[in-house]
Structure 1
Amino acid sequence: MSSQLFGVPDEFDVIVIGGGPAGATTAGLLAQRGRSVLVLDRERFPRYHVGESLIPAFMRPMKELGLTERMDARGFERKYGGSLIWGNEQVPWQFSFIEGGYEYAYHTRRADLDALILDRARELGACVIEDATVRETIDVDGRVTGVRYALRGGDGLVEARAQLVVDASGQARVIGRRQTGVKWHDELRNVAVWTYFDNCERLPGDEYTNILIEGLDEGWFWGIPIDKGTISVGYVTRASTVGEGDQKLEQIFREQVERTTKLKKMLAPGRRSAGFRTARDWSYHSDRFYGDGWVLVGDSAAFVDPLFSTGVALATLAGSTLSKILDKVIEHPEIEEKALDRYATAYSNFFDEIRSFVERFYDRTKYKEFYHSLAQEMVDPEQKNKPSSDFVTLISGMSGKHPMFHIDLSDLISADDGATR
């Protein structure tokens, strides 16, 4: 039996499953364009999430949402670059975003960041319902036309219908699991174990706000300064080398920390302030990104190893692009399939380029010059810029230069207008 929530309509232009960065960005920007949007999330925000370090490309959708000044007001730590111990003989080196023409990104507590973006979607007019778990889709003649969801502590299911349904549910893949398969990337079948430390020492001088990436023979550590004294610390290694069991991962974490140099020095005055968390086999790519009445965005579509902190940026950039496309599809329903196909192709290609670079970067037998030239090969084959600048451009998320951010639908709309005259 379906019931209706007080004050909530049962029909929308778009339903978004998931209120994380991808879903909230998509919903907020659609609402900003005057579309009616329902966002459903099974959690109550703020809620915990890993992925605290961001890259400059993330600033693009945040500017569209009008959130850049609020991030500073909330006290998020500005991030100006990165420090690496990586490559042949584990030589230390670093990069600065300014070399690629970008000023900074942020380190954040994701609970605070995600709540900020979702609250902005509310402000812009999206209807947001938390503690709402989508149980099933509503299908009419093979097309997804809505969802049925349950409220925590409530009885029965609530129905909502829409012209389009967006799956932004992350690795839950609420629609993706029903509609398409997923390809795991064997080269990146890794496992991570992480925790948090307080009262730590920071990197010196102009490295003070840098993320630390310290490579070892069998894996690598991240060290992310979330605020003045707290650091997120995680260890990533091949899943095949550790087998099953979180206790073994915790033991490996402790053993590998002792083999580090910069990280061990940072942690020396600190104390652990949280339990261990783990994640496995996370690099994947959905076989399809869209279907009749539905489309994937963010981690429900694809996710790549966290080596360069691309997850949130890729999710919000895709959400920004998708919002523009869905806005046109709502106005011109006949272009839906071709428009979503262009989105899926560009999104998939963008993901594959980043994944390919990360896979090749995992070869730690090289020197930084090799990694710089590898980036140049991908983003600047005509060698117009310095290889080091191209490296920064790539790991900054290409900051709006990729075709994914410039999908043109004008020819489809012209053809549609011509067909309806």
Structure 2
Amino acid sequence: MPTLFGVPEEFDVIVIGGGPAGATTAGLLAKRGHQVLVLDKERFPRYHVGESLIPAFMRPMEELGITERMDARGFERKYGGTLVWGNKQVPWNFSFIEGGAYEYAYHTRRADMDSMILDRARELGAYIIEDATVKEPIEENGRVTGVRYTLRGVDGSYEARAKLVVDASGQSRLLSRRYSEVTWHEELRNVAVWTYFDNCERLDGDEYTNILIEGLDNGWFWAIPIDKGTISVGYVTRSSHVGKDGESLQELFASEVERSTKLKKMLAGANQAAGWRTARDWSYTSERFHGDGWVCVGDSAAFVDPLFSTGVALATLAGSVLSKIIDQVMAHPGIEQEALTRYATAYRGFFDEIRSFVERFYDRTKYKEFYYSLAQEMVDPEHEREPSGDFVQLISGLSGKHPMLNLHLDDLIADAAVPAQA
């Protein structure tokens, strides 16, 4: 079996995928002194949708030590959002400062941001191999003990071994597809079509950096300011609404723009600056988040409709939590299954909370006060804060009391340290 120059064959952890979830997990593990290998099939920077972020993303980025780099790279700060949503499609907005510790997040070109996180993992000591396609896991006695992978332009394959393998392969789901079924969320079986525009008008005043979410009768638009004149614009609708009367997705996009209000004004003098991209049926949950020798993080575990731009924040938060869990597992191997189960339970609960809210938010017959109350019911049943603040906290991904943000393994470690009775 060939080897790569300067790259070991044995690791503490192998991470499949160098996107935000994988790079965060790997970087924070390397920061804790573990030997980590990241394999990604692409060469960074590479394109990815999901350019608008929420404040929960800032927490793992602080741990990685790269928040200041985002301003240095010119990423646009995002202080809140503007919605045309609910009964009679009345405009309203929110500010992140109402929701907790972080008053802003960012809009970014994902190619730049994802490269920044992966580069930071490299700086922290992780081995990063790009153009590497994982073909299959290596199993010994039913346990995943490594992976077999190929390199672009090279005949044959390589092997790497590890104490634990992390599936951060996104919607490819390289391990979870093999070891787990997936549940599709019927209420969110949607299709999206998107492109990019230059020379766009921006929202007015304090809303200048806001994401625009504009609801219509059969779907909704996002408009994300990537920089001063370019915006990402996408239309999301039920899969069942697509193809009626022989209308293409691009034609549907154009006809729905004409029905919009704020978006139509933003695009009045704009020109399309890119081709079209589409995605469909993407809200799902893997039935298993971990198994013997492997664990999922990010989109390989679950993904929810992009209405509130939660994907990257959920992925990096999970990566942060998982790095802490794995760090303890490396020191106390006997707690592995219980520790990963605790992680999976909390992660699934965190995801389900946001998914449930998104599903109910899709009822556009209500007023904003209903959505505020709905958020309060979910994250603040004791009514300790104002409903509007609870709404912002929820869509910021910062439900502070949630077990996902407060996972501890002290009891498992203590139990593992107690000698078995004779």
TM-score (norm 2): 0.98
Contact 1:145 1:161 in 2 (8 A): yes
Amino acid at match of 1:214: E
Partner of 1:81 in structure 2? Answer: 80
Q: Map 1:85-104 to 2 at 5 A.
A: 85-101=84-100, 102-104=102-104
Q: Deviations over 1:39-88 (max 9, x none)?
A: 00000000000000000000000000001100100000000000000000
In 2, the alpha carbon distance for the partners of 1:398 and 1:71 equals: 20
In 2, the alpha carbon distance for the partners of 1:147 and 1:20 equals: 18
In 2, the alpha carbon distance for the partners of 1:100 and 1:294 equals: 35
In 2, the alpha carbon distance for the partners of 1:246 and 1:150 equals: 43
Q: Map 1:39-58 to 2 at 5 A.
A: 39-58=38-57
- 1:317–1:379 Cα change, 3 Å: same
| Unpaired stretches in structure 2, ≥5 consecutive residues | none
Partner of 1:289 in structure 2? Answer: 289
- Aligned with 1:398: secondary structure? coil
Residue 419 of structure 1 deviates from its aligned partner by 2.6
Contact 1:16 1:166 in 2 (8 A): yes
Partner of 1:349 in structure 2? Answer: 349
* More off after superposition, 238-247 vs 73-82: 238-247
Identical residues among aligned pairs (%): 77
Partner of 2:22 in structure 1? Answer: 23
Count the aligned residue pairs: 420
Q: Deviations over 1:257-298 (max 9, x none)?
A: 110000010011110000010000000000000000000000
What is the root-mean-square deviation of aligned Cα atoms in Å?
1.4
| Unpaired stretches in structure 1, ≥5 consecutive residues | none
In 2, the alpha carbon distance for the partners of 1:146 and 1:47 equals: 26
- 1:110–1:420 Cα change, 3 Å: farther
- 1:244–1:365 Cα change, 3 Å: closer
- 1:156–1:202 Cα change, 3 Å: same
Contact 1:57 1:400 in 2 (8 A): no
Partner of 1:65 in structure 2? Answer: 64
Q: Deviations over 1:353-398 (max 9, x none)?
A: 0000000000000000000000000011111111001000000002
Amino acid at match of 1:13: D
- Aligned with 1:46: secondary structure? coil
Partner of 1:336 in structure 2? Answer: 336
Q: Deviations over 1:116-154 (max 9, x none)?
A: 000000000000000000001100000000000000000
Partner of 1:160 in structure 2? Answer: 160
Runs of 4+ that moved beyond 3 A:
243-247
Partner of 1:14 in structure 2? Answer: 13
Contact 2:197 2:230 in 1 (8 A): yes
Q: Deviations over 1:208-233 (max 9, x none)?
A: 00000000000000000010000000
Residue 351 of structure 1 deviates from its aligned partner by 0.4
- Aligned with 1:6: secondary structure? coil
In 2, the alpha carbon distance for the partners of 1:99 and 1:170 equals: 32
In 2, the alpha carbon distance for the partners of 1:146 and 1:244 equals: 48
Partner of 1:369 in structure 2? Answer: 369
In 2, the alpha carbon distance for the partners of 1:301 and 1:326 equals: 17
Contact 1:84 1:213 in 2 (8 A): yes
Task: Note if 1:118 corresponds to 2:103.
Answer: no
Residue 405 of structure 1 deviates from its aligned partner by 1.7
Contact 2:243 2:249 in 1 (8 A): no
TM-score (norm 1): 0.98
